[in-house]
Amino acid sequence: MIRGEKMDKLRLMSKVAKMYYEENLTQEEISKITNIPRSTISKLLNYAKKMGYIRVVLDFPNQDLIFLEREIEKLYGIKECVVVEREEDIGTVGAKYIENVLDEDEVVGVSWGMTLEKVVKYLKPFERTVKEVVQIVGGLGEPNEDYHATNLAKELARKLNAKVSVLQAPGIAKNLEIKKAFLSDPNIVKCLEKVPSITAALVGIGTLHEDSTLIVRGKILSENDRQTLISSGCVGDVALIFFDRNGKPVCSDISKRVIGITYEQLKKVKKVIAFAGGPKKIEAIRGALKGKLITMLVTNKEVAERLIEIDRRRSA
């Protein structure tokens, strides 16, 4: 039997470390073999790490991506970031991510957009049942398009084995009178009343670039609308909540005509999972992160690297 008090401390540390790291013995097992208290073994291992005698080397695949994820999480204080190698991988990886983070009792809000459409497309039907899917923005673009919010909500509900509440209204009304008329519809009111009960929201992050979905595919904003938002400091949107570079909501005539979840409501959702990538979305993604509009992000390597670079440069 090995008596700890009769050994040189360095030799003891070396022996304990070898047993723990190379022989894969637990601290409890080492304690029984050496007759050293488990608390002492823990202190020896910690001291050895502190002195640099023990160096833990992680050699998992894609360590560069894991590093980027942790940097984004620390820089922006979000719950989790998932970084993929290529922008086109966001859909498949995002779908797998949803499988891991959604619980059976979730009320899931869903926005709209082409990236989100790909995520839902690659999502495998759940074996378990999610409580409900709620459409959180009115319809945008052609009603038959897969990225349309109503179609996304229905398809997501089908794959989650959930009931669905759709918002049968335009995402942006032509004027305030038309918005008021839609908000008097009992079915629309019923859907919007479910928004506060949402526990997880799946969203994209939009931009105001000329070739963005909101401009080209959605055909919701005119060039004049786009310029109005840009002049107001807007850099992007999450669920039609337009925000500036710091993630603060931008108030404009356009934002007043939106039918859907509000800024205050979105901020109260426990899990806001965003799927967005590509160089043209960097400023918008950064704004959403800075404003704490999202709590989780699935993005690509190029975007993650640029986000870290920008923040390091500005904090220097």
Say whether both 256 and 141 belong to one domain.
Answer: yes
The pLDDT assigned to 1 comes to 41
In a domain, 166, yes or no: yes
The pLDDT assigned to 139 comes to 87
In a domain, 147, yes or no: yes
Pairing of strands 296-300, 80-84: parallel
In a domain, 56, yes or no: no
Say whether both 22 and 82 belong to one domain.
Answer: no
In a domain, 310, yes or no: yes
- In order of 172, 201, 214, 247, the CA distances from 218 in angstroms are 11, 21, 5, 23
The pLDDT assigned to 143 comes to 67
Over the chain (316 residues), the average pLDDT of each successive run of 10 is: 53 87 92 88 92 79 88 94 95 94 93 93 91 93 72 95 94 94 96 97 92 64 87 94 96 93 97 96 97 97 96 74
Say whether both 235 and 208 belong to one domain.
Answer: yes
The pLDDT assigned to 91 comes to 96
The pLDDT assigned to 6 comes to 42
Closest CA to 87 of 237, 276, 216, 217: 276
Specify the CATH number for the domain of residue 46: 1.10.10.60
Q: Which residues contact 84 (CB under 8 A, 6 or more apart)?
A: 65, 90, 93, 277, 298, 299, 300, 301
Say whether both 46 and 194 belong to one domain.
Answer: no
The pLDDT assigned to 61 comes to 72
Say whether both 141 and 30 belong to one domain.
Answer: no
Q: Are 44 and 16 in contact (CB under 8 A)?
A: yes
Token pair for residue 151? 């179609």
Say whether both 227 and 111 belong to one domain.
Answer: yes
Say whether both 37 and 126 belong to one domain.
Answer: no
Based on the structure, what is the number of domains in the chain?
2
Burial of residue 177 (number of CB atoms within 10 Å: 0-12, 13-18, 19+) = exposed
* C-alpha span between 67 and 93 (Å, rounded): 17
Say whether both 106 and 187 belong to one domain.
Answer: yes
Say whether both 130 and 170 belong to one domain.
Answer: yes
The pLDDT assigned to 216 comes to 53
Query: Whats the size of the chain, residue-wise?
Result: 316
Q: Are 242 and 271 in contact (CB under 8 A)?
A: no
Say whether both 135 and 67 belong to one domain.
Answer: yes
Say whether both 177 and 310 belong to one domain.
Answer: yes
* C-alpha span between 88 and 179 (Å, rounded): 36
The pLDDT assigned to 218 comes to 52
Whole domain around residue 113: which residue ranges? 63-315
In a domain, 118, yes or no: yes
Say whether both 132 and 41 belong to one domain.
Answer: no
Quick check: pTM over 0.85?
no
